[in-house]
Amino acid sequence: MFAHASTVRPLARSIGFVGAALVLLLGTLALMQPLPPGNPHGEGAAANANKPCTLQPEGFLRGRFFGALNFTADWSGGNLYCDGMERPGGDGVRLFFARARPSGERVSVLVGIDGRPADLVGKERPANVTVIDEQAGRFFSSGGPGRCWVSITSVAALPRAGTVPAGYRIDGLVYCVGALPSVGDRTSLTLGELQFAGRVSADEA
């Protein structure tokens, strides 16, 4: 016996939400995975997002969050986790910023941008933005290009320093023209302009 259409449609929507959440989760875990011991620059190594931001002058992320999360971010110094990585093939970058709450869980912001680091300055580009609320287990996503945009003001090469790989300091701002829906429930998150300075580790393989 075939299932009634009114039952199939909600089931299909639920499967879609679960699938989207899994994709976001896997991508986030890949970015946040610690670098393997003894191989800090190995091929395919993910950004290490478990250490405070190492930029000098300090890296930062500043701006307003409204809706499902309501706070002003002024993340910098030892309270800021930041790192990033080039997309395989070098045709894009992913920036990661996070701040721990007193309870230990973090709010994380991931920004994906098309283009090589040397070509990013002075051009407005579409961006993929994901915000993760670890405490509630929620993901808010722009869902692809067209909703959020980034404007890069400077890119500076960073030499390798000890165990910290070479890379780039990237300064700019990101803004979204609509709310970011939650994956899995009906809440949403609105972002004000987010100014940032982060780093992208270069692929030295």
- Judging by DSSP bridges, how do beta strands 92-100 and 106-114 pair with one another? antiparallel
Q: How far is CA 80 from CA 7, 60, 98, 177, 198, in A?
A: 46, 7, 6, 26, 10
* 0.85 exceeded by pTM: no
- What pLDDT is stored for residue 130 in this prediction? 96
Cis peptide leading into residue 165 (ω within 30°): no
Ranges of H-type helices in the chain: 5-32
Largest CA distance in the chain: 66
Concatenating the DSSP letter of every residue in 54-72 gives --SSPPEEEEEEEESS-EE
Q: Tens-digit pLDDT profile for the chain (205 aa)?
A: 434 444 434 433 333 333 434 334 434 433 433 323 323 222 233 344 566 788 989 999 999 999 999 999 999 988 899 999 998 887 899 999 999 877 778 999 999 999 999 899 988 999 999 999 998 899 999 987 689 999 999 999 999 888 888 899 999 999 999 999 998 889 999 999 999 999 998 865 5
For 7, which DSSP code? H
How far apart, in whole angstroms, are the C-alpha atoms of residue 60 and residue 41? 24
Note the pLDDT tens digit of each residue in 81-118: 999 999 888 789 999 999 987 777 899 999 999 999 98
pLDDT of residue 33: 34
Q: Which of 49, 63, 46 is nearest to 196 (CA)?
A: 63
The answer to whether 136 and 121 have CB atoms below 8 angstroms apart is no
